Amino acid sequence: MAAEIIRRSCPTCEACCGLQVHVDRDTQQILRIEGDPDDFRSRGYLCPKAYAMKAVYEDPDRLTQPMRKRADGQFEAISWDEAFAYAAEKLRPIREKYGPQSVGVFIGEPTGHNLGALLYTTLFMRALGTPRAFSSATMDQFPKNVTLKLMYGDGWMFVIPDVKRTDLFICMGGNPVVSQGSLMGTPDVPGVLRGIRQRGGRVVVIDPRRTETADLADEHHFIRPGTDAYFLAAMIHVFFEEGLVNLGRFAAFTDGVQEVREICRDFSPEAVAETTGIAAETIRALAREYATTKKAALYGRIGTCTQEFGTLASWLLDVAAILTGHFDEEGCMMFPRPAAGQSEPGEASAPMSVGAYRTVARGLPEIDGQLPAGVMAEEIEEKSAGDQRMRALLTAAGNPVLSAPNGDRLAASLGELDFMVSVDIYINETTSHADLILPTTVSAEEENFDFTYATTCSHNYARWSPAIFEAPAGAKPHWEVLMRLVEAATGVPLEQLDEAMVGGIAGSVTRPGGRCEGKTTEELIAAIGSERGPLRILDLMLRAGPYGDRFVAGKDGLSLRALRECGGLVDLGPLKPRLPEVLKTPDRRIPLVHPYITADVPRLAAALADAQRRDRLLLIGRRQVRNMNSWLHNAQVLAKGPARCTLLMHPDDAKRFGLATGEKARVRSQSGEIVTEVEVSDEVMKGVVRLPHGFGHTRPGSRTAIATRLQPGANANQLTDEGPLDVPSGTHIANGIPVEIARA
């Protein structure tokens, strides 16, 4: 047996832990997966989902050939040539007759974990030229993108808690002990939180549930779902009232302090205590502790984004940090400096686009290129979108029937499409509606680079990972499938698109003032070679990047070759202050108050009284260690054990509805109804119920036998209403949904 150990990063979540993968080359098997003690980031840590890579690689349900739907609704395997010819035959006439906007696109979460998928998705979207662009972002972090764009000029330059060096970590609406941290890329979150306390620091959790993170914290406060903006405004109110505002070096490039004071004047701790469920004195004490602790990080995630006031909450988190000097400083909220994928300080940034395209059914504006994911159905339906309807849909690594609002309506509308293609590895709740499914190679068969997650890490690093096995002959990587699909739809050859992308990047770094000024585009392209695909683009980005050799002979620096030669992982040091250099706002200053954001304040003020209502039961989300959104339930090793799709409910509420653990409840919202098992626990706030998303593997047509057998569950997003939005960002409300409950 030819056993071998391959070191690579785990492709399954943002932590990107280092793994040692034990393989048998002869049988092409992954024997076992262990944490890599030599990885300076994760030091041997891993979670059960490290096995996802093996489970997916071995899964007999995973597709390895293109599948075409026959007239009888069954899928049949076809060749790649047939597949792309079929796509061309269907997509071209639709685009020609009805225009590029008649073809919609949905991009899903796993895209962020795959270098090729990520780099080429941008090109894919541009080449298709459709404004009907949807993604998981509007069920996730889009309020952050909007805030970042307006305050700092770059919507994708995330600000991350410096958790390893902070003395006070305030965690709102995130459960990093389970999710392993999102927009805070840090392996072994439990260890890191313990570390804060061991050095005398404190961890405070603000969450409608006493979470696994709260269990490791010094303090936990229940907050009513959707009320974080009130809580944060009240903290800021206290900063002004008690003389705790201290901008330090930020005073030189920050505007709008007095306007913030005005906005927060009416939101005193006393005014919001009833609404938030947090006592005024607690808010005051936290505000004081935060303002006076030098290294303090105020962090907010999903619970503060996918809620009624996601943009205001995201904005106020940053405002609170800037006003008290807890921004861009060690131990506070900081900007990573990745080796690739971020524009250079000083580079111009286009203004945020709003309303360049409006949806047909509801007239909703595109916001920085995104439309709310939940409007796909109404854009397809003839009765709401008429002649201007979306006629074709391309999904790539997404399962919006389970991940976006009102899955039943979306599933029904997919049947009204003239044509649907899914780039995906399973026949599932979404892709089963496609006319054509195009599978891709999987992580075990691909070289990778932690592209996205090095831009959201709490310690700068670069990581290249080798492929474990060679892909079987004929298998295609995600990037190539996307490009061939564009070729089929538009007639523009892959080679031409690829050249244009590489030429564009090389041109931008060789122009005057660029990082490789003095070199020519041709020289750069000659140096990175002619092999198509993401690796030479990565090489170009690395070499022209902040740690690169700038294509200067004999100069040390990062390159693809250097990474391969050193084993893949490079420590680029702790996060460092980057402001004001990285500001890309038009005047290179920070507008604390931007009219686009603050236009939503009256809506917040008007909702204060409504938010005090105690008669409503509010549904929130729930992540669990062995799930990854909707797509890992077909892995036996992760799906085994008791049913996980349970509705957590406070004992007082359970009593009110006459329900006990293990009994079934009927949960109804404005958009639908599901039946699910109840789990009674006082870890959830009274008046709040909590359900995980990504379940509901019960639809006919899917081919995920293990998921359906072991963890069918119910679709939480049947209860998510596509109507109401966090207005400034067009993000859906997945937390704080009014529901009614009855015994089933």
Q: What residue ranges bind ligand MGD (CB under 6 A)?
A: 13, 108-110, 136, 139-140, 172-176, 178-180, 182, 206-209, 211, 223, 225-226, 228, 301-304, 307, 397-400, 402-403, 423-426, 428, 440, 442, 478, 620-621, 623, 625, 627-631, 693-694, 716-717, 720, 734-736
- Which residue's CB is nearer to ligand MGD, number 48 or number 491? 48
Q: Residue 139 binds which one of ligand MGD, ligand SF4, Mo ion, none, with CB within 5 to 8 A depending on kind?
A: ligand MGD
Q: Select 50 or 485, whichever has its Cβ closest to ligand SF4.
A: 50
Residue 717 interacts with which of ligand SF4, ligand MGD, Mo ion, none, CB < 5 to 8 Å by class: ligand MGD
Q: Measure the CA–CA gap between 571 and 42, rounded to whole angstroms.
A: 12
Among 185, 187, 341, 548, binds ligand SF4 (CB under 6 A): 187
Query: Please, which residue, 182 or 460, has the CB nearer to ligand MGD?
Result: 182
- The site string for Mo ion over 122-141 (x = CB under 5 A, - otherwise) reads ------------------x-
Nearer to ligand MGD, 413 or 627 (CB): 627
The values of phi and psi at residue 139, to 5°, are -115, 15
Q: How many angstroms separate the CA atoms of 701 and 430, rounded? A: 10
- Is the separation of the CB atoms in 74 and 437 below 8 Å? no
List residues bridging with 189 in a β-sheet.
none
Q: Are 354 and 366 in contact (CB under 8 A)?
A: yes
- Contact segment (CB under 6 A) with ligand SF4 among 44-52, 233-241, 374-382, 396-404 equals 44-52
Q: Of 305, 396, 401, 302, which is closest to residue 630 (Cα–Cα)? A: 401
The 562-601 contact track toward ligand SF4, x by CB under 6 A, reads ----------------------------------------
Stretch that binds ligand SF4, among 7-15, 68-76, 203-211, 338-346 (CB under 6 A): 7-15
What are residue 127's phi and psi, to 5 degrees?
A: -70, -35
Residue 14 found at the interface with Mo ion (CB under 5 A): no
Residue 91 partner contact from Mo ion, ligand SF4, ligand MGD, none using kind-dependent CB cut-offs of 5 to 8 Å: none
Q: Which residues contact 680 (CB under 8 A, 6 or more apart)?
A: 648, 649, 650, 651, 654, 659, 660, 661
331 within 8 A of 165, measured Cβ to Cβ:
yes
The enclosing H or E element of 103 equals strand 103-107
Q: How far apart are CA 318 and CA 109, in angstroms?
A: 25
With contact defined as beta carbons under 8 Å apart, do 110 and 117 qualify?
yes
Is residue 296 a contact residue for ligand SF4 (CB under 6 A)? no
* 271 token code pair: 């005014």
In the list 12, 211, 311, 370, the residue contacting ligand SF4 (rule: CB under 6 A) is: 12
* Dihedral sign (CA 648, 651, 652, 656): positive
The option from ligand SF4, Mo ion, ligand MGD, none interacting with 187 (CB < 5 to 8 A, set by class) reads ligand SF4
Beta bridge partners of 8: 19
Closest separation in Å from C-beta 139 to ligand SF4:
20
CB of 437 to Mo ion, least distance (A): 23
Structure-token pair, residue 368:
């920085």
Residue 163 within binding range of ligand SF4, rule CB under 6 A: no
Determine, following the binding rule CB under 5 A, whether residue 446 of this chain makes contact with Mo ion.
Answer: no
If the CB atoms of residues 139 and 332 are measured against Mo ion, the closer one turns out to be 139
Q: Which lies closer to ligand SF4 via its Cβ, residue 46 or residue 541?
A: 46
Residue 454: CB minimum distance to ligand MGD, A: 16
Distance, CA of 53 to CA of 376 (rounded, Å): 31
Residue 578 CB-density burial (10 A; 0-12 exposed, 13-18 middle, 19+ buried): middle
d(CA 58, CA 635): 9
Whether the CB-CB separation of 675 and 718 falls below 8 Å is answered with no
Q: How far is the CB of 46 from ligand SF4 (least distance, A)?
A: 4
Contact 169, 204 (CB under 8 A): yes
Interaction partner, residue 302 (ligand SF4, Mo ion, ligand MGD, none; CB < 5-8 Å by kind): ligand MGD
458 exposure class (CB count in 10 Å sphere: 0-12, 13-18, 19+): buried
State yes or no: residue 180 binds ligand SF4 (CB under 6 A): yes
Task: Give 209's DSSP letter.
Answer: B
Q: Which residues fall within 8 angstroms of residue 356, CB to CB, at 6 or more apart?
A: 131, 365, 366
Q: Which does 12 bind (CB under 5 to 8 A by kind): ligand MGD, Mo ion, ligand SF4, none?
A: ligand SF4
Given the complex with ligand SF4, which of 51 and 222 has the nearer CB atom? 51
Quick one: 182 or 711, whose CB is closer to ligand MGD?
182
Instruction: State how far the Cα of 287 lies from the Cα of 274, in Å rounded to an integer.
Output: 18
Of 226 and 591, CB closest to ligand MGD: 226
Kindly state the smallest distance separating residue 175's Cβ from ligand MGD, in Å: 4
> Binding marks (x or -) toward ligand SF4, 13..32, rule CB under 6 A?
x-xxx---------------
Compute the distance between CA of residue 619 and CA of residue 719 in angstroms, rounded to an integer: 9
Distance CA 322, CA 310 (A): 19
Q: Which residues, 6 or more positions from 308, have their beta carbon under 8 angstroms from its beta carbon?
A: 226, 607, 724, 726, 733, 736
236 binds ligand SF4 (CB under 6 A): no
Judged by CB, which is closer to ligand MGD: 538, or 714? 714
Q: Which is nearer to ligand MGD, 730 or 736 (CB)?
A: 736
CB of 109 to Mo ion, least distance (A): 5
Among ligand MGD, Mo ion, ligand SF4, none, the one that 209 touches (CB under a kind-dependent 5 to 8 A) is ligand MGD
| DSSP code per residue over 653-705 | HHHHHT--TT-EEEEEETTEEEEEEEEE-TTB-TTEEEEESS--TT-TT---H
Which residues inside 134-193 make contact with Mo ion, applying CB under 5 A?
140
What are the respective helix, strand and coil percentages of the chain, to the nearest 5?
35, 20, 45
Nearer to ligand MGD, 361 or 444 (CB): 444
The reply to whether 410 sits near ligand SF4 by the rule CB under 6 A is no
Residue 55 or residue 333: which is nearer to ligand SF4 going by CB? 55
Interaction between residue 10 and ligand SF4 (CB under 6 A): yes
Which partner in ligand SF4, Mo ion, ligand MGD, none is near 112 (CB below 5 to 8 A by kind)? none
Burial of 482 (0-12, 13-18, 19+ CB in 10 A): buried
Binding-site partner at residue 423 among ligand SF4, Mo ion, ligand MGD, none, CB < 5 to 8 Å by type: ligand MGD
- Structural contact between residues 35 and 46, judged by C-beta atoms closer than 8 angstroms: yes
Binding test (CB under 6 A) with ligand SF4, winner from 8, 41, 49, 644: 49
Q: What gap in Å lies between CA 301 and CA 183, rounded to an integer?
A: 8
Pick between residue 166 and residue 307 the one whose CB is nearest to Mo ion.
307
Q: Which of 21, 23, 30, 46 binds ligand SF4 (CB under 6 A)?
A: 46
Displacement of CA 421 from its chain's centroid (Å): 23
Q: Least distance from C-beta 180 to Mo ion, angstroms?
A: 12
CB of 430 to Mo ion, least distance (A): 16
Chain residues in the site for ligand SF4 (CB under 6 A): 10, 12-13, 15-17, 46-47, 49-50, 180, 187
Chain residues in the site for Mo ion (CB under 5 A): 140
